[in-house]
Amino acid sequence: MSAIYVMWLRQLKRFFRSPARIVGSLGQPILFFVAFGYGLGRVFQQAGAGNYMEFLAPGIMAMSVIFAAVFSGMDLIWDRQFGFLKETLVAPVGRANIMLGRILGGATTALFQGLLVLALAIVLGFRPQDWLLLPAAAGAALLVAVLFAAFGMLIGTLIRDMQGFPLVMNFVIMPIFFLSGALFPLSSVPAGLRAVAIADPLTYGMDAVRMLLTGISEFNLALDIGVTIALSLVFLLLSARAFGRMQV
């Protein structure tokens, strides 16, 4: 238990000690709000699909959550290079606990970034349908964060240096984000794209967050949460297995 706590605390300390990184991470969401929100908003409305900012805000929030979560998981690569990983690998605590602490810590900071983006969206005019559902939306976002932190950590155990990072970003994370229905409603896309979205691990968590923030949804909430929890467990297990076998 204390190992989980201490690894969680470490992620938080490292995160809040680099305010420049936190502020920097807001750059991309702002760009998305401006380019998509203002750029496509009118077209979206004219097509009869409603207020695009309202649709887009949960998508951008989810984007910052998954990017931050995957980064945090891949922190493992830095720890390997700078040596701290060894200190945790020889410690007399279960490796699963070390892993869980790291993932929960990474997910917590990713959620924090997501909430920052949500606050930014509110400043830009976004209004949640029901303020009382905000904690539930944050809970759903945390599930998404756990799923992608576990995913990032699994990648971190597989690649040895940051050189593989653009590969992962461009061929895995970006497609997962763009094809998840974060930016467009899945009800009005071609069947092929919809099929891809249904296989996308982000689609369900994304849908849950949007449902709780705006009431707009594609699937039912129980399915969204169920699939996201199941996927999280799968990636936690895979990540625990890979981390348990890790050598230096």
Partner 1 sequence: MTSIIDVQHLTKRFGDFVAVDDIGVSVDEGEIFAFLGPNGAGKSTTIKMLTTILRPTSGSIRVNGFDPVAKPHDVRRSFGIVFQDPSLDEDLTARENMEFHGILYGLPREVRRARIEELLKFVDLYDRRDSLVREFSGGMKRRLEIARGLMHHPKVLFLDEPTLGLDPQTRNHMWSYLQNLNKRENTTVFFTTHYMEEAERIAGRIAIIDHGKIVALGTAAALKEQTATPSLEEAFLALTGHEIREEEGSQADRMRTYRRAWGRGKER
Q: Give contact residues for partner 1 (rule: CB under 8 A).
A: 2-3, 5-6, 10, 13-14, 17-18, 79, 82-94, 247-248
Q: Is the CB of 12 or the CB of 169 nearer to partner 1?
A: 12
Alpha-carbon span 167 to 164, nearest angstrom: 5
Note whether 49 and 185 are within 8 A (CB): yes
Q: Is the CB of 18 or the CB of 188 nearer to partner 1?
A: 18
Alpha-carbon span 99 to 76, nearest angstrom: 10
Q: Is the CB of 48 or the CB of 92 nearer to partner 1?
A: 92
Q: Shortest Cβ distance from residue 222 to partner 1 (Å)?
A: 39
Q: Is the CB of 10 or the CB of 194 nearer to partner 1?
A: 10
Alpha-carbon span 167 to 2, nearest angstrom: 35
Those residues whose C-beta lies under 8 Å from the C-beta of residue 150, and which sit 6 or more positions away, are 73, 103, 232, 235, 236, 238, 239
Q: Shortest Cβ distance from residue 242 to partner 1 (Å)?
A: 15
Q: Shortest Cβ distance from residue 30 to partner 1 (Å)?
A: 27
Those residues whose C-beta lies under 8 Å from the C-beta of residue 44, and which sit 6 or more positions away, are 50, 51, 52, 55
Q: Is the CB of 96 or the CB of 223 nearer to partner 1?
A: 96
Could you give the 3-state DSSP secondary structure of residue 70? helix
Q: Is the CB of 5 or the CB of 38 nearer to partner 1?
A: 5
Q: Shortest Cβ distance from residue 81 to partner 1 (Å)?
A: 10
HSE (side-chain half, CA atoms, 13 Å) at 7: 29
Alpha-carbon span 20 to 148, nearest angstrom: 23
Indicate the DSSP class of residue 37: I
Q: Shortest Cβ distance from residue 101 to partner 1 (Å)?
A: 10
Q: Shortest Cβ distance from residue 8 to partner 1 (Å)?
A: 11
Alpha-carbon span 216 to 194, nearest angstrom: 17
